[in-house]
Amino acid sequence: MVHNQIFRRGITEQKILAAFTDVPRHLFVPLSKRNSSYEDYPLSIGAGQTISQPYIVALMTKVLDVCEGQKVLEIGTGSGYQAAILAHLGVEVYSVERISSLAHNAKETLARLGYSVRIHVGDGTLGWQEHSPYERIVVTAATPGVSPYWMKQLNVGGKLVVPLGGPLRQDLTVAQKVSDNDIQEDIVCGCMFVPLIGKYGYRE
Ligand code: SAH
């Protein structure tokens, strides 16, 4: 997985490759799908949700551009795999998930592996005010537009990585907060995520 799907597609940062080598992806995949854990596609994790394709997780990690010790907010905990990769890179991860059964499973898996990721069940389009501001925000579900709460809870100079677009197809976008009310957006590539559901998602 690391060599063929991630390194050969241009993600060569040693720390990121080490995180993907060290974090056991199969523990984030339901038992019935374990044989496919390291394949080059997303997998269903129940409740109609998915764990993203390994390359997409790696690409989001790369463009999120984190440094050890930074505070990162993830919207869409899902299996907890992206959170584990970020925690492995030494960042302080706060993650919001709307489906409590997924949040519960992710919490267990992360704790079992010794990652101290904080997880909150709720509507991530509202961010997580309590621990703000964040240096980075990563949204792992398809998003119709940047939530004003994310803008408010992100530091000036901070980055937001988010799949922006319609429910069927999005542009993976890196948005840098350049001042209190302005962001500068760069599109990385096309992508396909499950939809964000909530106040600033596709529906409430
Ligand atoms: N990062 C995950 C992949 C998540 S899939 C992983 O590594 O496995 C997207 C997740 O976003 C789903 O679990 C879905 O339930 C969640 N989601 C959708 N809308 C949300 C919202 N408003 N707030 C928080 N989570 C949301």
Average pLDDT score over residue span 57-64:
98
Residues forming the active site = 52
- Atom of ligand 1 at shortest range from CA of 57: 7
Average pLDDT score over residue span 74-78:
98
Q: Which amino acid is at 135?
A: E
CB of 76 shorter than 6 A to ligand 1: yes
Residue 157 lies in a domain: yes
Helix ranges, the chain (H): 14-22, 54-64, 81-88, 100-112, 148-153
Which of 64, 74, 192, 194 has most ligand 1 atoms within 8 Å of CB, for mutation?
194
CATH number of the CATH domain containing 95: 3.40.50.150
Residue 155 has what pLDDT? 98
Residue 204 has what pLDDT? 75
Ligand 1, atom 23, residue with closest C-alpha: 124
Number of domains in the chain: 1
Residue 92 has what pLDDT? 98
CB of 102 shorter than 6 A to ligand 1: yes
Structural domain of residue 170, as residue ranges? 59-191
pLDDT in tens, 142-181: 999 999 999 999 999 999 999 999 999 999 999 999 999 8
Percentage of the chain modeled with pLDDT above 70:
100
Residue 198 has what pLDDT? 97
Is the model's pLDDT at 34 over the cut of 80?
yes
**Global pTM value:** 0.98
Residue 11 lies in a domain: no
CB of 135 shorter than 6 A to ligand 1: no
Residue 165 lies in a domain: yes
Contact between 58 and 88 under an 8 Å Cβ cutoff? The reply is: no
Residue 203 has what pLDDT? 81
Which of 49, 86, 96, 149 has most ligand 1 atoms within 8 Å of CB, for mutation?
49
